Structure 1
Amino acid sequence: MTHPILSISNLNTSFRIGGEWRNVVHDVSFDIGAKETVAVVGESGSGKSVTAMSIMRLLSPGNSRVTGRIDFEGRNLLDLPLDEMQSIRGNRIGMIFQEPMTSLNPVLKIGQQITEVLVHHRGMSNAQAEAEAVRLLEKVRIPSAKSRLNEYPMNFSGGMRQRVVIAIALACDPKLLIADEPTTALDVTIQAQILELIKALQEEEGMSVLFITHDMGVVAEISDRTVVMYRGDAVETGTTREIFAGAKHPYTRALLSAVPQLGSMTGLDRPLRFPQVDMATGDIQPPGPTADTVRRDASPILKVNDLVTRFDIKKGFLRKTVGRIHAVEGVSLQLRQGETLSLVGESGCGKSTTGRSIIRLTDAKSGAIEIDGKNVLGAGKSQLADIRREAQMIFQDPFESLNPRIRIGNAIAEPIVTHGLADAAEAKERVAELLERVGLSASMAGRFPHEFSGGQRQRVCIARALALEPKLIIADESVSALDVSVKAQVINLMLDLQEKYGLGYLFISHDMAVVERISHRVAVMYLGEIVEIGSRQAVFENPQHEYTKRLMAAVPIADPSRRLTRRISNDEIKSPFRPADYVPPKRTYKEAGEGHFVQVA
């Protein structure tokens, strides 16, 4: 039997917190064999990323303590002098992080950042390093590699930036690649491309891979063996097929049960709650069906007709307009009370700009928007304030939405008092009621945002959105940053509130499995335009547009037996930039079924 590339034995990692040592990784042990991919999976706080940082010795020595053994190529990394460890980092062991912009220097050209590694670690001349940099960019499937060496990270899409980070990680032919949530921040199609790329490069280079994720669908796609972590413990280890076929630990079973499965809604005509899963015991409470909440007899709460939003690109001393970003181009839709219409598509497709334009957080160029019969684009300041009482927005990052210096009770009360709906004493009572409504306790009103988990902060944002008793809520990627179990809880909460208060949701997302679960109707956006719109059943069970099919094909499937069966196009999403004199073509649509329309030109 060959020796493992990496062998971890009784790894313990502690942090000094408030003068005391707190152990966050407890006696973790596992091996990674040659050319093998091992996934470490768990939710936030499970210790999986701390395990990776411990392996690389990237934790602050003053505030952390790592014990046990980490044997790599026959040497215990914990015993190595710092200079020897630095020579292994980025050389024998490469690492990819979740957010590529934290790994790339925004003021240095891409070529400089790759050649720097090659000159420093491999002793190449500048000319040799540049030629190798081109080869590396070509290896990670970046088109026109040579011409892109002189571009800055901001000129690359998120998926292409992650490819650059992978190229840098591969620069010194590492024997082990540690990938820490490398696809979490990416769109589903780009995620699929990056997973395919890592698998292909592993075959070509003979690397071993340690892949850290919270997504069991990704685990099924990429790993040979899996280590499940829960609160610092490795609670289950085995081949990925064994774990998916018959998970033994309650937490593993709970993780698998909480994963939304594309296709699980076939034949159903309304949203379905997620099963309630106890992550500690693995107990599963089957979901109950939602009531029919759509008020078809009433006028739509939202009407959007031929909405256009563009951003001018100016250059030169005179700031001449040289082109425009056509972010939203001719979008028309309607939404009734009690209905969820999901806008789906990749980053840059215009879905978030559509949401922001609807409540005039972004200025539209033309079109018509009505919320509860009121003209949004023609409204004055006071009229707009009244309209925004009817339409509230929930954003992706709840921490950025909340002022860290303001207690959450005051944050929720502020719009109530500002709009004159209650005095301070009445607002306090209203805040307590709102917190209870979203599954928090009234006693939490005195806490600051940092004292809540991510899922709790999103509940606070939902409570604040409900404070003005709106009829429409625009949820912009409002659950994409949450762990799978917390995501299920927040979506169930949104469905409960919709059922109780007849809320209309414009649900903006790139997560097709979640969209299938929560939607009454779905609109697919590509390059600022709606290319397909219809009922959830029509779009998911009978997709007509090629882009819709591509989005669905890219969703990770939590089934290791189907690993490597899908091949994803490596085409990058096209740019919405157009010359200043560009005139968009007039689009036409065909009706593929009742209320199901598909763009044909």
Structure 2
Amino acid sequence: MPPVLSIQGLTTSFRVDGVWRPVVENLSFDVGPRETVAIVGESGSGKSVTALSTMRLLPAANSRVEGRILLQGRDLLALPEAEMRQVRGNDVAMIFQEPMTSLNPVLTVGFQVAEALVYHRGMNQAAAEAEALRLFERVRIPAARSRFHEYPHRFSGGMRQRVMIAMALACKPKLLIADEPTTALDVTIQAQILELVKMLQEEEGMSVLFITHDMGVVAEIADRTVVMYKGLAVEEGPTAEVFRAPRAPYTRALLSAVPELGSMAGRARPMRFPVVDIVTGGSDQPVEVPDTVAAAERPLLEVSNLVTRFDIRGGILSRVTGRVHAVESVSFSLHAGETLALVGESGCGKSTTGRSILRLVPPSAGRIMFEGKDIASLGRTGLRAMRRRMQMIFQDPFASLNPRRTVGAALAEPITVHGLAGKAEARERVAELLRKVGLSPDMASRYPHEFSGGQRQRLCIARALALEPRLIVADEAVSALDVSIKAQVLNLMLDLQAELGLAYLFISHDIAVVERVSHRIAVMYMGEVVEIGPRAAIFEAPQHPYTKRLMAAVPVPDPARRAMRRGLSNDEIRSPVRAPDFVPPVRTYREVAPGHVVQVAGEEWDRA
């Protein structure tokens, strides 16, 4: 059968300073009927530009698309814009990475889907709304009728992505282009969206072009895979073959950098990621990180019954109408040289826990002891001195750095503000910090925009180390990074821990990464720790239903599992907003093994 989409010799260039610079070069591949083809590669490889070129959504003023893009034999590049507008939505539909920016915040989700039906299929408003409601039910939006007239901000990320899929399916396209549709989602929501796409593809008989940088997702969904690097297709073939015997060094580098769930079985300590040379494909052997945990000493950090709530005010008198129970009675300890990972979905309270420990947000109750001192009792001067010993690495490195200051000035500032060194000595310490995180001292004169994402995160790590802390709270510190850059940054963090005896509170929703770098794990749900224990105990014998659900949702980079069906769940993460007079239930815990403690599951888990 002829392909649904045939891309032949595609070259896309952008005009920069009057010069045309190609970002995709001579790319060719086909997507057959009912077939799923994945384009995989890191940021800047040309994946999304390929999708935008196919849809002809690039600005004509400074972009140039050459070659042929054939949709069922019709060359899309030769069509006038009026005809191309009919192709978009009718024959080819696209789902973008961030659904919130794709939906109009001032229009209801039902109206927006119905609008596409009125425009493309000529329906009247009543028929369009009836069809839109049917589509909502097709993509398994719970209580579709009651939610039809709600606005996008009332939906979770996963449900907003379902709305986008409903809109994409509105006109029964022959080809669905999905551009990183699960990257911004939690692992359980990602599993739901992947299962939904596979199910709808079977029902509708459409072809899918799936763009991602996650090799686990590729293994779960793709029949064939195209690997891109710097605008070029370096490898193409059946997904099983690409995974079993990758030919290109870059493909081997991508696969080796993907942590596989269960790979740490039998290992007592965290393990470095293998580093693969992109040019030669050669790889070093991953080694266990030396044990630096000072178990005999008193814990460096002790958190007891931590509670953090945020008031919701409304009305003329701005009375408290509700509270967000972000963190509820959380307790744990952390030793020097140890990594404790906090895992869970967005909104479970992980980041608020980290910020509460540093008193970046004020805790409502509980006790935080650091180096034997109660942080809550410290005044402004004492807290400032204490923060020299506790630092934080944030998720977005670009937002963490002042764009108007050189990185040298940003690194020197905490050293001089705390009076640890004069300007001359501070410059020397900045050079040493840059070397420590694998950067060159002469980079101190550059600005943040002159660095890559991975380099900016290294700069944030250097700034966190500037005051020689004992504890670092790493809040999703690598979630925004490409897979190979993520491996490099995590290796750096593990090396620094071994060298300096740092304690990490590692906040993440990436379960496979957590397994590789942590000594102990605390699983959070709805502001509460539902299970905590040594890494091996949590991964090899999870006890709580939520922990098991998280583990089962992790995509595994094994194409043999592609035919597996997980079953589609329509569950949304419950809201942590409660009435002002709400009293949280008293939770009970049991120790199932030394150090492995589990919350006794209540009625909500019996129903789950």
TM range (shorter): over 0.9
Aligned partner of 1:523 in structure 2 is 522
1:486-505 to structure 2, matched below 5 A, reads 486-505=485-504
Report the Cα distance in structure 2 between the residues aligned to 1:350 and 1:564, rounded to whole angstroms.
Answer: 35
In structure 2, the residue matched to 1:347 is: 346
Confirm or deny: 8 A CA contact 1:374 1:387 kept in the other structure: no
Residue matched to 2:378? 379
Which residue does the alignment assign to 2:537? Answer: 538
In the other structure, the counterpart of 1:595 is 595
**More displaced 10-residue stretch of structure 1: 463-472 or 378-387:** 378-387
> Matched residues in 2 for 1:387 and 1:128: separation?
64
The yes-or-no answer on 1:552 pairing with 2:512 is no
Match in the other structure for 1:188: 187
**Structure 2 equivalent of residue 35 of structure 1:** 34
- How far residue 169 of structure 1 moved from its aligned partner, in angstroms, is 1.1
**Alpha-carbon offset, residue 315 of structure 1:** 2.2
Q: Is the 8 A contact 1:266 1:537 kept in 2?
A: yes
CA deviations 1:113-169 (Å, max 9, x no partner) are 112111111111111111112111111111011111221111111111111111111
- State the shift of 1:566 in Å: 4.1
Aligned 8 A contact 2:219 2:239 in 1 = yes
- Is 1:467 paired with 2:455? no
Contact 1:535-1:596 within 8 A present in 2 as well: yes
> Residue 570 of structure 1 aligns to which amino acid in structure 2?
N
Partner AA of 2:407 in structure 1: I
Q: CA deviation at 1:374?
A: 2.2
AA at the equivalent of 2:580: A
Rounded to whole Å, the distance in 2 between the matches of 1:181 and 1:258 is 19
Three-state SS of the structure 2 residue aligned to 1:422 is coil
1:179-227 per-residue CA deviation (whole Å, 9 max, x = no partner) reads 0011111111111110000000101111110000111110010011111
Q: Deviations over 1:218-255 (max 9, x none)?
A: 00100111111111111111111111121111111221
CA contact (8 A) 1:38 1:210 kept: yes
Measured in 2, the distance between the counterparts of 1:90 and 1:362 equals 45
- Residues 282 and 570 of structure 1: is their aligned pair in 2 closer, same or farther, counting only changes over 3 Å? farther
- 2:273 pairs with 1:274: yes
Question: What letter corresponds to residue 507 of structure 1 in structure 2?
Answer: F
Shift of 1:302: 0.9
Question: Mean Cα displacement is larger for which, 70-79 or 489-498?
Answer: 70-79
Give the equivalent residue in structure 2 for 1:80: 79
Which position in structure 2 is the counterpart of 1:507?
506
| TM-score, reference length from structure 2 | 0.97
Are 2:113 and 1:114 equivalent residues in the alignment?
yes
CA distance in 1, matches of 2:413, 2:149: 48
1:179-578 to 2 correspondences below 5 Å: 179-568=178-567, 569-578=569-578
CA displacement, residues 405-455 of structure 1 (integer Å, 9 cap, x when unaligned)? 111111111111111111111111111100000000000001111110000
Deviations 1:525-574 (A, max 9, x none): 00000000000011011100011011011111111111132415332221
Deviation of 1:304 after TM superposition, in Å, equals: 0.6
Aligned residues: 600
Q: Which residue of 2 aligns with 1:55?
A: 54
AA of the residue aligned to 2:375: V
Q: Counterpart in 1 of 2:605?
A: none
Equivalents in 2 of 1:573, 1:15: separation in Å?
Answer: 42
| 1:126 match | 125
Secondary structure (helix, strand or coil) at the match of 1:556 reads coil
Find the aligned partners of 2:399 and 2:106 in 1 and give their Cα distance: 25
What is the distance in 2 between the residues matched to 1:384 and 1:502?
A: 22
Q: State the alpha-carbon separation in 2 of the partners of residues 594 and 156 from structure 1.
A: 41
5+ residue gaps, structure 2, are: 603-608
For residue 274 of structure 1, report the CA deviation from its aligned partner. 0.5
Q: 1:177: how far off?
A: 0.5
CA distance in 2 between partners of 1:283 and 1:99 (Å): 36
Aligned-partner residue type, residue 277 of structure 1: V
Q: Secondary structure at the match of 1:25?
A: strand
- 1:44 matched to 2:43? The reply is yes
CA offsets 1:483-511 (integer angstroms, 9 cap, x no match): 11110000000000000100000000000
2:580 aligned partner: 580
Question: What is the match of residue 64 of structure 1?
Answer: 63
Match for residue 4 of structure 2? 5
TM-score, length of structure 1 as denominator length: 0.99
Deviates further, 573-582 or 67-76: 573-582
Shift of 1:459: 0.0
The one-letter amino acid of 1:261's match is E
Amino acid at match of 1:380: G
- Report the Cα offset of residue 91 of structure 1: 2.1
Residues 266-287 of structure 1 show CA distances to partners (whole Å, capped at 9, x for unaligned) of 0111100001111232211111
Q: Does the 8 Å CA contact 1:372/1:390 hold for their aligned counterparts?
A: no
Contact 2:142–2:570 (Cα < 8 Å) also in 1: no
- Tell whether the 8 Å contact from 2:252 to 2:276 is kept in structure 1 after alignment: no
CA contact (8 A) 2:253 2:275 kept: no
Contact 1:524 1:530 in 2 (8 A): yes
Partner Cα separation in structure 1 for residue 146 and residue 17 of structure 2: 51
Q: Which segments of 5 or more consecutive residues in structure 1 lack a partner in the other structure?
A: none
Q: Give the partner amino acid of 1:414.
A: E
CA distance in 1, matches of 2:72, 2:207: 12
Note if contact 1:371-1:390 (Cα within 8 Å) is conserved in structure 2. Answer: no
Look up the equivalent residue of 2:263 and give its one-letter code. Answer: S
AA partner of residue 588 (structure 1) = T
Equivalent residues of 1:254, 1:278 under 8 A apart: yes
Displacement of 1:44: 1.1
Give the stretch that moved more between structures: 376-385 or 426-435. Answer: 376-385
Contact kept, 8 Å, 2:344 with 2:525, in 1: the verdict is: yes
Deviation string, structure 1 residues 316-351 (Cα, Å, up to 9, x no partner):
222222221111000001001100000000001111
Q: CA deviation at 1:378?
A: 2.1
Question: Partners of 1:344 and 1:434 in 2: how far apart?
Answer: 29
- Runs of at least 4 residues of structure 1 off by over 4 A? none
Q: Work out whether residues 522 and 539 of structure 1, in 8 Å CA contact, stay in contact via their aligned partners in 2.
A: yes
Q: C-alpha separation between the residues in 1 aligned to 2:53 and 2:373?
A: 57
SS at match of 1:396: coil
1:362-389 C-alpha deviation (Å, 9 max, x unpaired):
1111111112222222221111111111
